[in-house]
């Protein structure tokens, strides 16, 4: 396990990855768009920008490192072996399944007060 941790990319390498640059650029663009063209008047929350940026940074690094750390350990517990699809088709199928699950959860929240 520890040898796996020593082989992880540095935070700088994570930041300089093209996918990371795109995600960070989208976040910054949306923060600027919200500041310039707010959709509606929102309640005043002290330090909301700082809180939002901090949460983004934490989530960004956690979601970048966790798959690199636990992918080998969770592979034996997978329900379906779809590795024959390859990275792109497998990613697309995983995205569709994930989005369907989020859709079902979202629709269920509208039907039940227990899920709120």
Say how many domains are in the chain: 2
Residues 105, 71 share a domain: no
Residues 59, 9 share a domain: yes
Q: How far is CA 89 from CA 39, 61, 69, 85, in A?
A: 36, 25, 23, 5
Identify which of 35, 88, 28, 36 has the alpha carbon closest to the alpha carbon of residue 60.
28
pLDDT of residue 1: 60
Determine the Cα–Cα distance for residues 18 and 24; give it in Å rounded to an integer: 10
Residues 10, 33 share a domain: yes
Q: Looking at the whole model, is its pTM more than 0.85?
A: no
| Residue 89 domain boundaries | 81-116
Q: What is the pLDDT along the chain (116 residues), one digit of tens a residue?
A: 667 778 899 999 999 999 999 999 999 999 999 999 998 998 899 999 999 999 999 999 999 999 888 877 888 888 888 889 999 999 899 899 999 999 999 998 888 777 55
Residues 85, 73 share a domain: no
Identify which of 53, 49, 57 has the alpha carbon closest to the alpha carbon of residue 14.
57
* Contact present, 4 and 69 (Cβ < 8 Å): yes
């Amino acid at each position: 396990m520890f040898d796996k941790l020593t082989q992880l990319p540095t935070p700088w390498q994570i930041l300089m990855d093209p996918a990371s640059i795109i995600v960070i650029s989208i976040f910054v663009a949306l923060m600027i768009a919200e500041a310039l063209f707010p959709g509606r008047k929102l309640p005043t929350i002290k330090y909301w920008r700082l809180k939002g940026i901090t949460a983004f940074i934490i989530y960004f690094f956690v979601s970048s490192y966790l798959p690199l750390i636990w992918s080998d350990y969770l592979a034996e517990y997978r329900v379906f072996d779809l590795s024959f699809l390859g990275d792109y088709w497998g990613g697309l199928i995983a995205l569709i399944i994930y989005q369907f699950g989020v859709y079902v959860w979202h629709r269920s929240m509208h039907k039940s007060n227990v899920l709120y």
